[in-house]
Amino acid sequence: MQVTFLAREVVDDLCRALGVASPDYSALRRNVLISGIDLNSLIGETFSIGEAVFEGVEECKPCYWMDQAVAPGAHAFLEGRGGLRCRILTGGSLRCGEADLQVVVSPEKTFPALRQQGREVTEVNDRLAGERALQIVVNGQPYSMTMQTPGAERYLVRGLLHAEGAGGGGLRSLVQSERADATVVEVEVDPSDVPGGARRLVSTSSCGLCGKESVEGVFREIAPVRKDVRTDARRLHLVHTGMRQKQSTFAGTGGTHAAAVASADGEILCVFEDIGRHNAVDKAVGFLLEKGLLARADVLAVSGRVSFEIVQKCARAGIPVLTAVSAPSTLAVESAERWNITLAGFCREDRATFYSGLGRVERGKQNSHG
What is the chain's pLDDT, residue by residue, as a tens digit (370 residues)?
Answer: 678 898 888 888 888 888 877 766 666 656 788 888 888 888 877 888 887 888 888 888 777 767 777 778 887 888 877 788 888 877 788 888 888 888 776 667 889 999 999 878 999 999 898 888 888 888 888 888 888 888 778 778 888 887 777 655 567 777 887 776 788 888 888 776 664 444 455 444 455 555 555 555 555 678 899 999 999 999 999 999 999 999 999 889 989 999 999 999 999 999 999 998 889 999 999 999 999 999 999 999 999 899 999 999 999 999 999 999 999 999 999 999 999 999 999 999 889 999 999 999 998 766 655 5
Question: Which amino acid would we find at residue 334?
Answer: E
pLDDT of res. 367: 65
Q: Which of 60, 86, 207, 314 is catalytic?
A: 207
Q: Where do you find CATH 3.10.20 in the chain?
A: 132-197
Is residue 338 left, alpha or beta, with left meaning phi > 0 and alpha meaning psi from -120 to 50? alpha
Q: CB of 62 within 8 A of CB of 70?
A: no
Mapped onto helix, strand or coil, the DSSP state of residue 22 is coil
- CA–CA separation, 31 vs 313, rounded Å? 48
Distance of CA 147 to the CA centre of its chain: 6
- CA–CA separation, 137 vs 114, rounded Å? 40
207 annotated active-site: yes
Q: For residue 183, what are the contacts with CB-CB under 8 A and spacing of at least 6? A: 103, 132, 133, 134, 135, 150, 153, 176, 177
CATH class of domain segment(s) 2-103:
mainly beta
pLDDT of res. 211: 54
CATH class of domain segment(s) 132-197:
alpha beta
The count of C-alpha atoms lying within 13 angstroms of the C-alpha of 223, restricted to the half-sphere facing its C-beta, is 6
Nearest CA to 31 out of 86, 112, 99, 93 is that of: 86
Q: Where do you find CATH 2.40.33.20 in the chain?
A: 2-103
Question: Which amino acid would we find at residue 256?
Answer: T
Which regions of 50-154 does DSSP assign to beta strands (E)? 52-59, 84-90, 101-103, 108-117, 120-129, 132-138, 141-148
Query: Per residue in 327-361, is it b (16+ CB within 10 Å) or e — as a string?
Result: bbbbbbbbbbbebbbbbbbbbeeebbbbbbbeebb
Mapped onto helix, strand or coil, the DSSP state of residue 161 is helix
Kindly report the CATH number that applies to the domain delimited by 233-368.
Answer: 3.40.140.10
Residue 256 CB burial class (10 angstroms; 0-12, 13-18, ≥19): buried
Tell how strand 84-90 and strand 101-103 pair up: unpaired
